[in-house]
Amino acid sequence: MLHLRVISPPELSDGVLEVLETCVGVVNIVVLPGAARSPAGDLVQFDVAREAANEVIEHLQRLGLHSEGSIAAEEVDLSISEVSERAQEEAPGDGDDAVVWAEFAQRVGDDSRLTWAFLAFLMIATQIAAIGVIVNSPILIVGAMVLGPEFGAIAAICFGLIRADRLLIGRALRTLAVGFAAALVITFACALAWRWLGWIDSGSLRTGHEEIEFIVKPDRWSFIVALLAGAAGVLSVTAGKSSALVGVFISVTTVPAAGYFAVAAALSRWGDMGASAVQLGVNVAGMIISGVLTLLVQRAYWSRFGMRLPAPPGRR
């Protein structure tokens, strides 16, 4: 269930209540006339099944509440109510499968922004990956995969492509490009310092690194894994399953490839640089392709239910 808080100008409140009283999956409606101060208006609160949320939010937006009032939503972690259970049963589909498009749009919009936190996490993850490459530690490689924040920007590109949103696509691409460029420069500088200190040399990547050679050996399996990871990543974001998203991070070698590239550049290993760059490109391309396809399938499926929900018995 989602809990929505709506601030409505008094002249729109009757329309808001008509929407809520005729939609499947809406319960626990509370109206406090004149309670809101900024913006001024009536406060309306209610719960709605996730699978019915798109219709409700879209109707409220058509009334103009996103510009003249306010619409806020949050997850309901615990609901002990037979009325709520019946509402979820009446709504078509299952809540875990539902995509609340407004929620997803806001999340990927936030994740596509270039922030200091994004840069810091990507730089740290790339340096950890570089150290994992040098010491031949799969554990460090996996840790770098989990720490990398790049999937949010990739999901934003996927969403931007299905909506033809050039602004979102451009912002996400800039975030990825600047983020990886900064991470590579910092990691390359660190690798040069390690070489100058004598901690690594031109032979550091030649032998004893069989366990992490997959980073510089892109093949058909790399692309298939990227496709699967992209689909799983989008599903985990749309369903709010953060535990599944961690598995996506561990599946793809974007950050490890960047770390390997920086170390190989510092050691003048041009072949490994090219192979790791290809690995990075294969993973990003595979995730974008499957992410777009997954979103298209979800949109096609939910357009049959979320846009034209029938009214429940007794509310006609």
pLDDT tens-digit map of 287-302: 999 999 999 998 887 7
User: Binning pLDDT at 50, 70 and 90, where does residue 207 land?
Assistant: low
Quickly list H helices, the chain. Answer: 10-22, 50-62, 65-68, 82-90, 101-111, 116-135, 138-147, 151-163, 166-196, 220-239, 242-251, 254-266, 270-302
User: Which pLDDT belongs to residue 308?
Assistant: 54
What's the pTM value of the predicted model, to 2 decimals?
0.84
Q: In what order do the strands lie in the sheet with 2-8?
A: 26-37, 40-48, 2-8, 70-75
Please answer whether residues 195 and 266 qualify as being in contact, where contact means their C-beta atoms are separated by less than 8 angstroms. yes
User: Which pLDDT belongs to residue 310?
Assistant: 45
**Residue 303 carries which DSSP code?**
T
Other Cβ atoms less than 10 A from the Cβ of 270: the count is 10
Residue with tokens 């078509």: 92
Q: Is the domain 2-98 a CATH 3.40.50.300 member? A: no
User: Which pLDDT belongs to residue 45?
Assistant: 94
User: Binning pLDDT at 50, 70 and 90, where does residue 123 land?
Assistant: very high
Q: Calculate the CA 134 to chain-centre distance.
A: 31
Please answer whether residues 30 and 47 qualify as being in contact, where contact means their C-beta atoms are separated by less than 8 angstroms. no
pLDDT by residue (tens digit) across 221-233?
889 989 998 898 8
Q: What is the C-alpha to C-alpha distance for residues 250 and 143, in angstroms, rounded to an integer?
A: 8
Q: What is the C-alpha to C-alpha distance for residues 105 and 289, in angstroms, rounded to an integer?
A: 18
